[in-house]
Each structure stands twice: as structure tokens, then as C-alpha cells.
Amino acid sequence: MTVHRLLPQREQVEQIRPAPDAVSPANAGSGPRAPEPSSEPDIPFAATWISPEARRAARRVLASGWVTTGPETELFEDEFAAHLGARHAVAVSSCTAALELALRALRLPVGAPVLVPAVTFCGAVQAVLHARLRPVLVDVDPRTGQVNAATVARAARVCGCPRAMMVLHYAGAPAPVAELAEAARLPLTHIVEDAAHALGTSVDDQPVGSLSRAACFSFYATKNLPIGEGGMVTTDDSEFARWIRRARLHGMSADAWRRNTTGGNWRYSVEEAGLKANMTDVQAAVGRAQLRHLDDWQIRRHALAAQYDAALASLAGIEPLDVPASGRHARHLYVVRVEEEYGTGRDELIDRLAEHGIGTSVHFEPLHHMPYFRDTAITPPGGLPGADALFPRLLSLPLYPHLTDSEVDRVCTELARLGDRHGTARAARSAVPADALPALAPGHPLPAGLRTLVIGAGEAGQALARDLARTPQFGLAPVGFLDDDPVKLRAAVIGGLPVLGELDDSREAVLTHRAEAVVVAIPGLGSERFRQVAGAAEASGASVRYLPSFIAALRRDVVGSDMRALDVPALIGRAEMHIVSPEVRATIAGKRVLVTGAGGSIGSELCHQVRAFGPSRLFLLDHDESNLHRLQLELYGDALRNDDIVISDIRDRPRIDQVFRELRPDVVFHAAAHKHLPLLERHPCEGVKSNVRGTDNLVRAAIAAGTSRFVLISTDKAADPVSVLGATKRLAELIVRDGQQDSPPGTVFSAVRFGNVLGSRGSLLSVVAQQLGEGAQVTVTHPDATRFFMTVEEAVGLVLEAARMARGGEVFVLDMSVPVRIVDLVRKFARSVHVPDIDIRFTGLRPGEKLNETLFAEQEGHTSTAHPRILAATSAARPEGPAALSQALPALYAAAERNDTPEVRHVLADLLPGFPAAAQEHAHTGMTHPYPDDF
């Protein structure tokens, strides 16, 4: 690693003089100060902190007289293995030595090909060469800096049959080890993980260190567990561990220190070649002491990374790397891409930051750029375009536990300032060049619907693509196929559309070709394979269509006829919008995420999409245990597999406090609520208990637990509410806004308002479909009633984007254009399912219903956001000032607990002008076939 000094031209470098038992992070760097007027101290790229306990441990070992490998090393091995849940750990002199020893222990023939990432530290490929093996370079995804299944498969084909693979968890981000092994057609016994950055990383719920045959860690001075030098190999294979333990000391059959203990024997033998690569007791003693601080240091690293994420989210051209797999990020490095839209090149930016006292680094120069490795490694034909595209943009920012919040703010401020002259508005954030998109035939119009990948280029896929292309009102514009059939891959173009890769390329294809939707058109595709493809696509920001009518059509070999059910634009009077972006991953990946109301329609869809972005844990909270069990089966294929199910009622404050204390979620999506509008008119006390007090309980618990992001799911009925549903949800919005003021810096509370969601449980269309199926009259409240409608994909996308964009206190609303008459939507839906003539009975508006909904209250304005179709409500003043709500809530809660309906409505009316204090008369005729709001 090369650390960029702050000003190389400075004549003198200040010497660091640490205190006897500590190193101050402010003076821990190695560079000179910038000649700026500011008196602020330099911010080094990296700083090593050796704890007082570690210094005392080193002095103790030095005083013992035994300083090479000995009892301290054995204790360090045991404690390190226990920390990771591995059966064995073998301490060595460096991570490079660990990699070489692990490769040697595989007993591969001389010259056997080993797959190695093209972007990694040079020592990793040196380890392959020293083990007398042949490195095969694997290209990387420029969005993640890591290899993916497609590039691994391509490199594997080049060398014929790789015998092993080195998987790097780059910067500490989890790599999909099993997926990559499958792409290389290698068993996990022949995977060696380069975990130099990955102490603290997990893939899904499994810590790196117990995933494959061997994981190799580094204790270099700037790593997550800094010692100065040293490394460790972890494995669950006892014989593998014994071999490395012998080989690290010349292949000797007995450790030197044991031969010098009482009763020891001087005899030993050497049966195989070995290295001189043992760890000393001094290093081990330091490591043991530092290990006690690791968990706290990791918490701090995550907090700093979150601070970077939040500060850089609105800065055009500075893009954090995506995370390629679900799990926990170790946050060893904070790596960004400096895109063209930033306006300043990477190298110039490094110099400018150095002039202002900020150190940076670059990880790493691609191996094929170095003459020695060009001659000794195998490079796939066509080169390594991903690595070549990524390297000129790579930049690592300062990230270490003793970096202060103000120093991160200063780094981000300088980045923003240096980019100001080029504009910081983040509009179209995709860095994909236009020539990377599939070419259209001359005169062919640009796609009008969502850019859609069709999975499967067989007859079903081709028929689907034809129907979508011929019928733009479906709202899906096909851009290409993915298929595993070698014949179709060689054909390159089928039915006028390009074949963009294999099924394992779904994530890369979504990003490269800016796909917004993915439709699977392979009859009989196994459920596990479907989940893999769908998960990869969703993790890239695309929506995957779960369409029972489409699946049924495939089984009948008829594709186009049932696709009319997808005519979303015709139903809602506007084009469906793709909202969720790949940048959402930074908000979710590696975080502990809690979803309340997880078993509901929106909650469960939210869980599906959140899971695809790689949270370290996903907690499912609901009071309905059956729905939770069903959801876990959907997510994982089995249930009761972990402790992530939480049965709890949000109205139970002690229980909610306990849940937050124990789970300590980083991100909370609050979807739990009573939301059946007519029933809440009859039972307003229950609405208050769940929607108001339940939200209050969650907000208080989130603040106490240090939750960093909290998103409330609200409703458009909260704008100038006249229903109990709208009133209780408006109070929930205000509670969330108050929570923002009461929370510590860095905590973000926000809300989103939904329109009516098409297809959710109990919503309008599901009731209409049931009525049509029964041959009954279709009930509509009023011929002129209008509503704003959203698809489930739009609704969940709004929630995820709100979590990404929120800075605190906002109420986000999707710009849904003009409202739709309910009766028109019902008639169009009936025609789409081949019922052209329907009998509609108008029942009259029900208590609490408006003839026309609005998105914003009369006293609210709205502003644009970083997303062109998402707005934020403004000037939503609290009733009678900030104290009014907190003073009135106890009386409201007390009335609800007494089930005093008149008093509840009276307090609501006092708090929310325009809300009727007296209940409207209930019209029983309107309840024959009621449909709730059910957002």
C-alpha cells in the first residue's frame, strides 16, 4: 500500500513523538503539513493506535526473555479462532506468508493455475508465484472493485481448469464466496480467502474465517487489528492447520520453543519444504491486547463510514463502491470512485486534498499494469476492461477508529468545495457511457417503458419480448436477454435483441445496461436458482416481476394474452416509475435493519428488497406470528432458522424498549399500523394506540438505542386529515419530526406518504377481483371519487430512496401526477381481465373518506429532491408550536386507554384543525364489500 504524503515538496517532515502508553490520532500520520493559512492539524490517511494494554503486554514479554514463538502465540491463536468461530488459527509473520502457506497446503501440482483478482495487493500474487503456481488474473466489476461470477467464469475458461482461487474481500466488503466458487467450478476446499481487509466481515451471517478451506488475515499497522506486522490463517481442517504450523518454521516437526521447555526434546525432523514465517511472542502479546478493543473499533469504523455515506450522498461524482454480497462490511477502507461528473480527476484531487492537509491513498494498481506480472500471469483475451476503467477513478479516504467526526466533516467539506465549481447537483448518477447500451435499429424509437431484462432467450422469452416491444402500454421495454445456453450466447442477437450474458451475469447486466425491471421467462426454473437471479437483480436496484398470471401463461405456452394484466400506465394514468437506485445499497449493506409490520403487504415486500441489498441482519417484527413464519419461508426457503423473527406489539412500550436494547438496529422501517379507514372510524381508540402511541414508542426506543435512520410509512390521508386514519398518521409524522429534534447528531428521522397501493392485501383491485370472480356487483363509493395510486415497486422504492436521501425531518411524497377516478380504474381493470361489461353499484362515501385526496396539506409547500420524481413537504408547522404535541399526547393516550371515543376525537380535533370532533353517521350500505386504504 502506498500512502500519499500530504505535501512531498515540504522540506521537513515533523517527527511523531508518541506518549509512552498511547499514540494520539491527531499526530499519528507520517506526512508534513500543508502550507495553508489554516492552523488545523493534518489528517493522515492512516494512523496506528497501540493500546496501553498492548504496550504493557509487549514489555512483559520482553522482560520474560522469551520473545520468539512461544506461549503467547498459542494463546493468541486460540483467542483469535474463538473470536471468529473457526476451529483452528495459525499465527504467521504476515498475510503474504499466510497466503503462500495456504496455497502450498493445497498440494497442487507445480504450475497449476490459480485465479487471482486483477485489483489486489502485489503481495497476494507474489504468494501464488512463490508457491510455484501460475496466477490467472480475473477482471473486476468497476462498481464494486471485486470480481464477480461472470468475470470468474471467463477467467476459468481461459485457463481451462483452475485448480484454486484466491477470493479478496476488497476494502472489507463481503464477497460472495460460494457463488464465485461455483462460477469457477471449484469446491470450497480449493478457495483461499484473502481476508487482509476482512477482519469483521461476514457473508450473510457467517464470519469470514470459517467460510472456505482457509482465510488469511493481516495485522499490518493500518489494518483493523493493528500489530505492526503479522498474519493468521484460520481453517476448520485439522490436518491443514497442522501442515501450516509445521511449514511456517522451516517444515520442522517440533516448535522451537517447546524443545526448550522442561522435558522438551531437541530432536526434530523435516519432511517437506517450509518457510521462515513464524509470529513472535511480542507480536502475539500485542495482538491479544488489541483484540479486546476490536469490537469497539469496528463499531467506530461503521459510524465513520455512515457519516461519509450521509455527507457524500448528495455530492455529484464521488461514488462509494457498491457491496457485492449480503453480510457485514469490515470497513477497513472507505473507497470511492471519482467520476467524470465531479470535474476534477483523481490524481489532481489527491494533490489538492494534500495541499489542505488531508492524506489519501489508492488501493490498488491493477496487477497487469506492472511489468513483472504481465510476464508471469495469465491475462484473459481482450484484457481486463473493468480494472482498467476502475483504476483511474479509485481513491481511498481516511478511515480509522480514532478519526474524529469533525475530521470526517472536514474531508467531506473539502471534497464538496473542490467539486463546487463543477456543480454538486446529483442528477443522472449512472456513470455508464452511452456506447455501453445496446444499439437500436435505425429509426427505432427509444424505449418508453421501464428498461427490462428478459431472463431466458427461449421460445417463451422471445414471445414475451415481442409482445412487450409491440405493446408499449405494458410499460416494459426489453433491452436484451440473459441465457445459459451456449448456442444462444454464441448467437449474440436473438429476435433483434442482444444476448447480454448468462443468468449469473444478472447483476452486472442490470448495472451495465441500466435495467429497471427483470422478468423471468424460463418455465421450470428451480426456486433456488430463481432466488439467486432475482436477488442479484434486486441488489442492483431492479425490480423483479413476481407475476402469477405470467407464470400461468407460460405453462399454457401463451404469453401475450395475459400480459394485459401488466398494463399499469393504462390503469393509473401515468407511466410506472422506477425509483430505487443501486446507491440505496450504501444505506442498507452491512447494517442491522428492523422492519415493523414485516408480515404485511408493504412490510414483506420491503423485507424482500432490503435483504437483496445485504444487511448484516434483517429483523422481522410483527404481532402476527403466522405472517412472520410465512415471510421467513419466502425469504430463506425455511423458517425458524435464526433469531431474526421478533413477535411484538408496537403498543407494548417495555417490550419495544427491550427489543431495541437487544437488537440495536441501525436502520428502522416502520410499516406497522392499523390502516383500514372505515374500521378506524368505528374504533378510533385502537388507531391511536397503534398509529400514534406505537410510533411514539418506536421513536423513543430508536433514539435510546442509537438508531441512525428511521423511516415512517405514512399515507396521503395525513394531508389535512378528516379520517381517524389520516389524523393518527399525521400525528405519527409529527412524532417522527419531533424525534429528529430530540435525537443526537447523525441520526435521521423521516417519513414517506403513500397513495393507494395496487395489488396489496385487501386493496381496491384485490377486492374488485374477488367480486368479479364471484359474479357479484362491483362496489364503488362515488362516481367522482379520485385517488392517487402506486404500484408495490414504486411504494417500496419510495421508502428505500427516502432512507437514502433523508437528512432529517422530511416527509417524502412520490410525484404521482394527477389523481385517477376510481370508477375508471375499475373499468379498465375489468377489461384487462376480459370482463368488458360490469355492474357497478355506488355505495356513497364512507365516514372519514374524502371525495378527492391531496398529496400535501393546504399549509404545506413542497420542494424537489435528488430524485426527479420524489418531492419533500415543507413548512409543515406543528400545531401551536413544538410543545403542543408533547403536552397533548398524554391526554390522548389516556382517553384511548379508557376507550373514550368522544374524547379521543375531541383531542384529535384540537391538535389537527379541520378534523371533525363529532363522528359521522355510519352508512351500512357502504360496508358490503369494503376495501381499506391498506398502503
> Active-site residues: which are they?
223
Say which residues have a Cβ less than 8 Å from residue 633's Cβ, sequence separation at least 6: 639
Say which residues have a Cβ less than 8 Å from residue 536's Cβ, sequence separation at least 6: 504, 506, 507, 510, 612
Residue 90, SS3 per DSSP: strand
Q: What whole-number distance in Å separates Cα of residue 231 and Cα of residue 528?
A: 37
Output the nine-digit C-alpha cell for 807. 437528512
Q: What whole-number distance in Å separates Cα of residue 472 and Cα of residue 466?
A: 11
Q: What whole-number distance in Å separates Cα of residue 699 and Cα of residue 697?
A: 6
Residue where the block lists cell 355506488: 842
586, 804 Cβ separation under 8 angstroms: yes
535, 585 Cβ separation under 8 angstroms: no
Q: What is the DSSP letter of 252?
A: B
Q: What whole-number distance in Å separates Cα of residue 572 and Cα of residue 829?
A: 10
Rg over alpha carbons for the chain, rounded to the nearest Å, is: 30
Q: What whole-number distance in Å separates Cα of residue 500 and Cα of residue 483?
A: 8
Output the nine-digit C-alpha cell for 917. 370532533
Residue where the block lists cell 463502491: 321
What H or E segment, with its residue span, contains residue 509? helix 506-512
Q: Sign of the C-alpha dihedral, residues 748, 754, 757, 761?
A: positive
Residue where the block lists cell 474465517: 209
Q: What whole-number distance in Å separates Cα of residue 180 and Cα of residue 141?
A: 13
What H or E segment, with its residue span, contains residue 238? helix 238-247
Residue 550 CA neighbour count, 13 Å, CB half: 24
Backbone angles phi and psi of 510, in degrees to 5: -60, -45
Residue where the block lists cell 406518504: 753
Using a CB cutoff of 8 Å and minimum separation of 24, what contacts does 462-467 make? 462/494, 462/495, 463/559, 463/560, 464/519, 464/521, 464/550, 464/559, 464/560, 464/563, 465/495, 465/497, 466/495, 466/560, 467/559, 467/560, 467/563
Residue 243 buriedness (CB in 10 A; 0-12 / 13-18 / 19+):
buried
752, 811 Cβ separation under 8 angstroms: yes
Show the beta-strand stretches assigned E in 661-744: 667-670, 709-715
Residue 374, SS3 per DSSP: helix
Distances (CA, A) of 22 to 26, 43, 52: 12, 18, 6
Q: Sign of the C-alpha dihedral, residues 817, 818, 822, 825?
A: negative
Q: What whole-number distance in Å separates Cα of residue 50 and Cα of residue 59?
A: 13
The angle at the Cα of 581, spanning 577 to 586, to the nearest 5 degrees, equals 155
164, 191 Cβ separation under 8 angstroms: yes
Q: What is the DSSP letter of 740?
A: H
Q: Residue 863, Cβ neighbours under 10 Å: how many?
A: 10
Output the nine-digit C-alpha cell for 560. 401475450
Residue 497, SS3 per DSSP: strand
Show the beta-strand stretches assigned E in 425-490: 450-455, 476-482
Backbone angles phi and psi of 872, in degrees to 5: -125, 130
